Structure 1
Amino acid sequence: MRHEQMEVWQRSKQLSVEVYRELKGLRDFGFKDQITRSALSIPSNIAEGFERFTEKEKFRFVSIAKGSCGEFATQAIIGIEVGYIPEPIGQRWRQEAMLLSRMLGSLLNSLSHSPHK
């Protein structure tokens, strides 16, 4: 299966697009860079993992994507608290990140039981 066909990649790509659009005008470039990079890291690492040759490499990059979900969810909470992200948007992003994390956890579980590992 190609990564573009996977729901977890499609949803994480859409989340990244939303983050870039919402924060386009944010002047705190340090925060903006960090949160957009963590959001972008999720679909990017899924894609990179699925382009690798071994199941071990695929597992590693999907695991990095899962870690980026936690990083992004934390940054969304901080963004709400400092007033950069409207609470309804930030909470929706955080919930989506946690859903993506669960989806990636399931994918990692299936990869760890793959006979090709």
Structure 2
Amino acid sequence: MKSYRDLIVWQKSVRLVTIVYEIVSKFPEEERFGLISQIKRSAVSVPSNIAEGYGRNYTKDYSRFLQISRGSLYEMQTQFEIALNLKFIKKEDLKEIINLSIEVEKMLNSLIKKLKS
């Protein structure tokens, strides 16, 4: 593997960020500095930490950054649940993002487990 860009989990998480930005663009304008900002930051943190961890020279550092990435993913999932409760988004509209985030979550879990063994 030449680069973090070759990692499927990174590629999928970048796709996830794109979908997140598309979805939150439909949220109420007054949420621009609230929930929208929080969701965008947590979403962008997922591939960013995968890339940063990959660039570290130590497996423990890489594993730690993957754990941070996973935490950001959980944060984003929670924020979308809140958005759903506030009726900023319909359940059907959220399906793609939830499915992709669960896929990224499973890949992160697998990579973390592989690095620990």
Same fold (TM over 0.5): yes
- Structure 1 CA distance, aligned partners of 2:61 and 2:82? 32
State the match for 1:5 in structure 2: 6
- Relative to structure 2, which stretch is displaced further, 52-61 or 23-32? 23-32
State the match for 2:46 in structure 1: 42
Correspondence list, 1:40-79, <5 A: 40-79=44-83
What is the CA-CA distance between 1:47 and the residue it aligns to?
Answer: 0.4
The one-letter code of the counterpart of 1:43 is: P
State the match for 2:109 in structure 1: 105
State the match for 2:19 in structure 1: 18
What is the CA-CA distance between 1:65 and the residue it aligns to?
Answer: 0.6
- Structure 1 CA distance, aligned partners of 2:112 and 2:71? 12
- Structure 2 CA distance, aligned partners of 1:76 and 1:90? 8
The one-letter code of the counterpart of 1:44 is: S
Runs of 4+ in 1 over 2 A off after TM superposition: none
Tell me, yes or no, if the aligned pair for 1:76 and 1:93 is still in contact at 8 Å.
no
What is the CA-CA distance between 1:96 and the residue it aligns to?
Answer: 1.7
What is the CA-CA distance between 1:25 and the residue it aligns to?
Answer: 5.1
- Structure 1 CA distance, aligned partners of 2:92 and 2:116? 36
RMSD of aligned residue pairs (Cα, Å): 1.3
What is the CA-CA distance between 1:53 and the residue it aligns to?
Answer: 1.3
Q: State percent identity of aligned pairs.
A: 35
Q: Deviations 1:9-48 (Å, cap 9, x if unpaired)?
A: 1111011011112223531021000011111111000000
The one-letter code of the counterpart of 2:17 is: S
Q: Aligned residue pairs: how many?
A: 113
